[in-house]
Structure 1
Amino acid sequence: MTKSSPTARERIVAGAADMISRRGLNATSIRETAKHARAPLGSTYHYFPEGKQQLATEAVRYAGEFAARNLRKELPAGPVAGLRAFLGLWRKIVVDSDFRAGCPVLAVSIEEPPTDEIPAAVLAAAEVFDQWEALLAASLREHGAAPEQAAQLATLIVAATEGTVAMCRAKRSISPLDDVTEQLQTLITTTLNQHRPTPSSPSGV
């Protein structure tokens, strides 16, 4: 196995994230996840002795970090670059899956838990949303947005992205995501331009 080859555990986690993004959490089983990841069922229980909820939690964190890496890579070029990379990631997932896959973080978040206690996977999803918002908000602040406005705009970006991915799957069209990308880009540009200092007029004018 080469250094870059994923381990059996990593394949199982990635497979679980993919299945949850397509079917939702309740319709994803340990057995089917092992088959999807081409891993022995026994090894799945070995790596995840607490069962499906533990695996789902890891899958959510995996998906969250995958998107966060894209943000960290592109945000140094500015919030618009980060935005386009973030939405471009979900665009590729939706298109490449022929509108069958969405965001596993959202999928876990919207399913009713079996008990009144908040499941670990849902708590992990909340942490992922916080992480994405924090990365976006930090970039917006660095480029001139006021702290409160940066935080609110970051929340809007994440919420709009998640909702639009669901719309694309329902409509079997990527147009909603492309439209939202353009509108959010315009909003970011307008917001940052409002906070840029106006050039001073030449003396005597």
Structure 2
Amino acid sequence: MTEPTSTPRERIVAGAADMISRRGLNATSIRDMAKHARAPLGSTYHYFPDGKQQLATEAVRYTGEWTARSLRKELRAGPVAGLRAFLGLWRGIVVDSDFRAGCPVLAVSIEEPATEETPAALAAAAEVFETWETLLADSLREHGAEPGRAAQLATLIVAAVEGTVAMCRAKRSTQPLDHTAEQLQALILATIEE
């Protein structure tokens, strides 16, 4: 998820996202994140004075925007192309990490408790999921889907892909992605052709 021209702060955020995607939020300390990003711990606290919660929030937002950029680009060719890109992106992460990495947004979502005062990282995860759903729903509507159906299918796509990534890690196989891709593509085609 890192980009070659990134700043030291961006490298720390990308490294944190990678660590969270591999080990989860609770099993990852800010020291681990700094070490993984090959950054001095002092620099990490310089950029993220509020510590782990601030860094985790930035890592979620970083992953969200990185994914949204890819989705925006591919959705120009339609919702099926967007779906393929979305699945392809996560396939690359799962396979390239030898089934050790998943989605840091999902990791934060399942590990942060929902309390009266929602932690910033959990709120950021909700925003990221909403962004992905909106991008997909907009594309579906632009290609003929009824608005309510487009919103529901977009939610299903994001939920299915997130769950599928977890299944791939557990099974150490991309078969769940293949099955999910086939069924979601059929649903998209049926929805935009109605």
- On whether the aligned pair clears a TM of 0.5, the verdict is yes
Equivalent residue for 2:168?
A: 168
Partner SS state of residue 77, structure 1: coil
Q: Alpha-carbon deviations, 1:128-174, whole Å to 9, x = none?
A: 00000000000000000000000000000000000010001001111
Distance 2:116 2:22 in 1: 25
Give 1:113 deviation, angstroms: 2.9
Partner SS state of residue 76, structure 2: helix
Equivalent residue for 2:17?
A: 17
Distance 2:134 2:115 in 1: 30
Equivalent residue for 1:124?
A: 124
Question: Which amino acid letter does the alignment assign opposite residue 41 of structure 1?
Answer: L
Equivalent residue for 1:201?
A: none
Equivalent residue for 1:191?
A: 191
Distance 2:87 2:67 in 1: 10
Give 1:178 deviation, angstroms: 1.0
Equivalent residue for 1:28?
A: 28
Give 1:118 deviation, angstroms: 1.3
Equivalent residue for 2:70?
A: 70
What is the RMSD computed on CA atoms of the aligned residues? 1.1
Equivalent residue for 1:144?
A: 144
Distance 1:153 1:5 in 2: 36
Question: Which amino acid letter does the alignment assign opposite residue 59 of structure 1?
Answer: A
Q: Which runs of 5+ in 2 are unaligned?
A: none
Are the aligned partners of 2:165 and 2:177 in contact in 1 as well (CA < 8 Å)? yes
Partner SS state of residue 161, structure 2: helix
State how 1:171-182 maps to structure 2 within 5 Å: 171-182=171-182
Give 1:27 deviation, angstroms: 0.8
Q: TM-score, normalised by structure 1?
A: 0.91
Distance 1:89 1:137 in 2: 19
Partner SS state of residue 28, structure 1: coil
Question: Which amino acid letter does the alignment assign opposite residue 161 of structure 2?
Answer: T
Give 1:112 deviation, angstroms: 4.1
Q: Which runs of 5+ in 1 are unaligned?
A: 195-205
Are the aligned partners of 2:14 and 2:62 in contact in 1 as well (CA < 8 Å)? yes
Distance 1:149 1:112 in 2: 30
Distance 2:115 2:150 in 1: 36
| Structure 1 residues 133 and 114: CA distance shift in structure 2, 3 A | closer
Larger radius of gyration: 1
Give 1:192 deviation, angstroms: 1.0
State how 1:63-102 maps to structure 2 within 5 Å: 63-102=63-102
Distance 2:114 2:8 in 1: 29
| Structure 1 residues 144 and 83: CA distance shift in structure 2, 3 A | same
Q: Alpha-carbon deviations, 1:19-50, whole Å to 9, x = none?
A: 00000000111111111111111000000000
Give 1:183 deviation, angstroms: 0.8
Question: Which amino acid letter does the alignment assign opposite residue 34 of structure 1?
Answer: A
Q: TM-score, normalised by structure 2?
A: 0.96
